[in-house]
Structure 1
Amino acid sequence: MVDTTKNTLIYSTYGRKMAKPVNPNVAGKMLSKAKRPLLVVGSEIVDNEQLIEKVVAIAKKGIPVAATGHSITALVNKDIGAKYINVHSLGHFLGDKKWTGLDGQGPYDTVIFIGHKKYYLDQVLSGIKNFTDLKSVAIERHYMQNATLSFGNLKPEVHLEALDELIENI
């Protein structure tokens, strides 16, 4: 088992609620029980074939994908039905209880993030944390203090191991 709960050093300010560090097996089981999860993928995956494979594997578990930035270029021919949206716009829409989602099937209950620049995602997660009831899970390589649950700061090879374990448990 990969321990992703250590090294939760933060690099910016934080509020009164901090993300709970989570191990991949726990996060995977939580995602498997979510009624309407959404995987939000950032452009940091574009030049990393291993991360693209992990994203595709998660999507093939039945989790819809929102591609932000230029991540859509890496996912367009992967047969996972990724939909493009700007991450800041998505954060705004997630706060609207009447929004029916990217697929028109209703609001999401759990949002999973991977492949984003920390400073962009931190702002979006702050809005989600303070203005919605959504659960947010950051399976990023860096600890995201404004998520509900987050991996700690991980080396690239440990991050890939953690993603494999998460996928096994979805």
Structure 2
Amino acid sequence: MVDTTKNTQIYTTWGRKMAKPVNPNVAGKMIAKAKRPLLVVGSEILKDEKLVEKTIAIAKKGIPVAATGHSITALVDKDVDAKYINVHSLGHFLGDKNWAGLDGQGPYDTVIFLGHKKYYLDQVLAGLKNFTDLKNLAIERHFMQNATLSFGNLKPEVHLEALDELIENI
């Protein structure tokens, strides 16, 4: 089992709530139990073909994908349910309890983030943390203090191992 809860050093923090570190097996089970999960993927996945493969593997578990930045380019013709949206716009929409989601089926209950620049995602997560009741899970390589649950700061190879374990548990 990959331990992703150890290194949670941060340099700044906002608000009184901070993410709890989570191991990949627990995160995978949480995603599996979610009624309406959404995987939000950023363009950082394009820097490593293995991250693209992990993203597709998660999506093929039946989880719809919100592709932000130019991450959609890696998901075209891969037989996944991916739709393009700007990450900051998505953060705004996720805060609206009446938003029908990207597929028109209703609001999401669990939002999973992978492949974003830390400084962009921190802004979105701060809004979600302070103004919604959504569970959000950062399966990023860096600890995201504004998420509900987050992996710790991981080396790239450990991050890939953690994603494999997460996928096994979905």
TM over 0.5: yes
5 Å matches for 1:20-169? 20-169=20-169
Deviation track 1:34-86 (CA, whole Å, cap 9, x = no partner) reads: 00000000000113110000000000001000000000111112110210000
For 1:95, the aligned partner's letter is G
- Tell me what 1:10 maps to: 10
RMSD: 0.6
User: Any stretches of 5+ residues in structure 2 without a counterpart?
Assistant: none
Q: CA deviation at 1:13?
A: 2.5
**Counterparts of 1:72 and 1:11, CA distance in 2:** 31
Aligned residues: 170
- Encode CA deviations 1:95-127: one digit per residue, 9 max, x unaligned: 000000000000000000000000000000000
* TM-score, structure 1 as length reference: 0.99
User: 2:154 corresponds to which letter in structure 1?
Assistant: L
What SS does structure 1 have at the residue aligned with 2:92? helix
TM-score by length of 2: 0.99
Secondary structure of the corresponding residue to residue 77 of structure 2: coil
Structure 1: where are the runs of 5+ without partners? none
Runs of 4+ residues over 6 Å off in structure 1: none
Q: Partners in 2 of 1:142 and 1:169 — Cα distance?
A: 21
